[in-house]
Amino acid sequence: MVSTSAIQCACLVLLLVTINKVQAQSKVYNVLEHGAVADGKFDNSKVLSEVWNQSCHQNTGGGVILFPQGTFMVAPVVLQGHCKGPMELQVQGTLQAPVDVQSSVGVDHWISFRYVEHFVIHGGGLLDGRGASAWGKSKALPTTLRLDFVSHASIRQITFLNSKNTHIKIFTCSVVVISNINISAPGDSPNTDGIKVSNSKYIQILDSVISVGDDCIACLPNSKNINITRVHCGPGHGFSIGSISRGAVTNLNIRNSSLVGTQNGVRIKTKAYPSQPGNVAYITFEHIEMDNVGNPIIIDQNYCPDHGCSGKESSQVQIKNVKFNNIWGTSRTKTAVNFNCSQSKPCHEIELRDIDLNYRDGGPANSSCSYVDGKAYGKQNPPSCL
């Protein structure tokens, strides 16, 4: 049987070959040569759409859309395939979202790519969502960058700043590598998740820094074969699987990463109500440093964000085969390891190995277990309750 890591490696090699092919063969479309204005005021969305349509739908070899140095305001835009060749968006300058709140309410995207294959976003530039003017005024605000039905894509060397909502959403995508990016928003900014992945497979998030007001990375239902490596999170709500009320997340690995000052560390959360049968399985969290983290290791199957639960409901999502290996640092709460599982679907085959978490304010940390079975190996600080 071929391992998940081997398959991911093969997908990455294929993607790198695609990227080199894009850069070697594609025509460059400098937006300044097509009517764009870099004054931070002119709406460049029409120019971007026209250049995209020309390079994607008319040019057999695909194209490179270049935003050079400068500040380009772009209103919400959808860029759609299927293209006649590989595509590349190269951002060297700054793209700014509109600051007007009313024009953003109810719009689910700022820049959206749909049905695109063999696609690269890079260039060292900045995507500025200008979210401060909108935070707290509505929950129906746009994601900075949406990838929907995209395959064989790469996002690298881009900074995302102050999205009005989530910074990056990956939906129904396959073979996507996100690397060497920086995502930044204040720790108290609402709903500014870093990256959300749902209904997708073979996703890699590597060598990046995420500082936001919500989850740094959230893996949502029907996602599988997800690899997160060398990612720093903080501030934020940590690395989350969920919340999940149905569906599955399988074959997810988070490794060699760190969290500082976050609300949670590594978390699996399922809704108590409403809840349908689902599955979270074959999950590994390992080699992770926690610094002043509120809940370093947590499974919460009684998540009830809308306060509509009576306390009698029980999650129907089965959690099993979850490994926590070599996790160390400091907890802001005394309960550093908390497994609050479902009474009707207890957590199975949970493994703790080499855990060393100290209570930041002194005294011993502790563990809490409800409806869970598993085993502990090696050092266990706090003492395991498995």
Nearest by Cα to 259 from 227, 224, 297, 202: 297
Contacts of 168 (CB under 8 A, 6+ apart): 143, 144, 145, 146, 147, 155, 160, 178, 183, 194, 195, 196
DSSP category for residue 137: T
Q: Please indicate whether residue 237 is annotated as part of the active site.
A: yes
Q: Please indicate whether residue 108 is annotated as part of the active site.
A: no
Cα separation values, 356 from 120, 185, 338, 382, Å: 40, 30, 14, 7
Active-site residue (options: 128, 148, 237, 300): 237
Active-site residue (options: 193, 214, 291, 300): 214
Residue 126 phi/psi, 5° resolution?
-130, 135
Is residue 119 within 8 A of residue 150, CB to CB? The reply is: yes
Burial classification of residue 3, based on how many CB atoms lie within 10 Å of its CB (0-12 exposed, 13-18 middle, 19 or more buried): exposed
DSSP category for residue 4: H
Rounded to 5°, angle at Cα 217 from 344 and 172: 80
Q: Annotated catalytic sites, by residue?
A: 214, 237
